[in-house]
Structure 1
Amino acid sequence: MVHLTQFVAVLDDDESVRRALKRLLHSVGVQVETFSSGEAFLDTLSPATSSVPVCVIADFQMPGIDGLELQRRMVRTGVPIIFITGNDDPAIRQKALAQGAAAYLTKPLDGAVLIRAVQIALALR
């Protein structure tokens, strides 16, 4: 599905969620890099590096910057963002999707739905 040099970034402050998503995506041949915060991820996106993910899966509510701020900072990259959240607020969902989120999924995640969302995001890229 993705070349070895390409990867999907998974951002979640919960290590068990990061591990589970990495296992799930590896099971369908997707390379994954995980980050415990939006800041840690954004620090890797300097112009000097060519390691820009093909897709980002991010917990919407993390300490530090939230999903909408992450989305705002990444808009110039064109990288699709799939948000995952345990708190599905329809107004926030609508705002995230209106600002270009590829998907907005609620926890607990359905693995097949997440994989399909990643496939759609990668096809749009």
Structure 2
Amino acid sequence: MINAKQIIAIVDDDESIRRAIKRSLRAVGMEAETFPNSEEFLARLSSTTPYRPACVVVDYQMPEINGLELMGRLAPSRVPVVFITANVDPDVREKALASGAVAYLQKPFNVANLVEAVEMALAARQTPVERVTPR
């Protein structure tokens, strides 16, 4: 069950993508806040008003701080991340998942898959997930 007070942060430099994701999440009862780049999101995290999103949906290709670098900066906070990208490079997918992304969606993605990925991220936040690395 989704707690209405949980905020999903959407970090993407494409305004139409931010709006579409926010609208899709609101349609299923999730609240979202959007950020046009990693810098603004990080500034909000470090602001004097406490802010901790329940999950972050982050794009890979952004100016200045890309999605992978942002994930690295978020790692200590243990906020679950859903990674989205138009990039087709399989190495990007591997790096995102190896860095701890709960899900990886390639643009354009199905709204149902996005909602499912965010729900997984919210569940992962509440239940510690042990990652097993194959030998």
TM beyond 0.5: yes
> Cα deviation per residue 1:93-124 (whole Å; 9 max; x = unaligned)?
10110110111110011000010000111001
Provide the aligned C-alpha RMSD in A.
1.2
Q: For structure 1, list consecutive stretches of 5 or more residues without a partner in the other structure.
A: none
Q: Tell me, in whole angstroms, the C-alpha distance in 2 between the residues paired with 1:4 and 1:117.
A: 17
Instruction: Tell me, yes or no, if structure 1 residue 117 matches structure 2 residue 120.
Output: no
**Correspondence for 1:81:** 81
* Superposed displacement of residue 83, structure 1: 0.9
**Correspondence for 2:132:** none
Q: Tell me, in whole angstroms, the C-alpha distance in 1 between the residues paired with 2:47 and 2:93.
A: 30
Q: Tell me, in whole angstroms, the C-alpha distance in 2 between the residues paired with 1:3 and 1:117.
A: 16
Q: What are the residue-to-residue correspondences of 1:36-51 with 2, within 5 Å?
A: 36-46=36-46, 48-51=48-51
Q: Provide runs of 4+ in structure 1 moved above 6 Å.
A: none
Q: How many pairs were matched up? A: 125
Q: What are the residue-to-residue correspondences of 1:4-83 with 2, within 5 Å?
A: 4-46=4-46, 48-83=48-83
Q: For structure 2, list consecutive stretches of 5 or more residues without a partner in the other structure.
A: 126-135
Q: Tell me, in whole angstroms, the C-alpha distance in 1 between the residues paired with 2:4 and 2:120.
A: 19
Structure whose CA Rg is larger: 2
Aligned-pair identity in percent equals 53
Structure-2-length-normalised TM-score: 0.88
Structure-1-length-normalised TM-score: 0.95
* Superposed displacement of residue 47, structure 1: 6.8
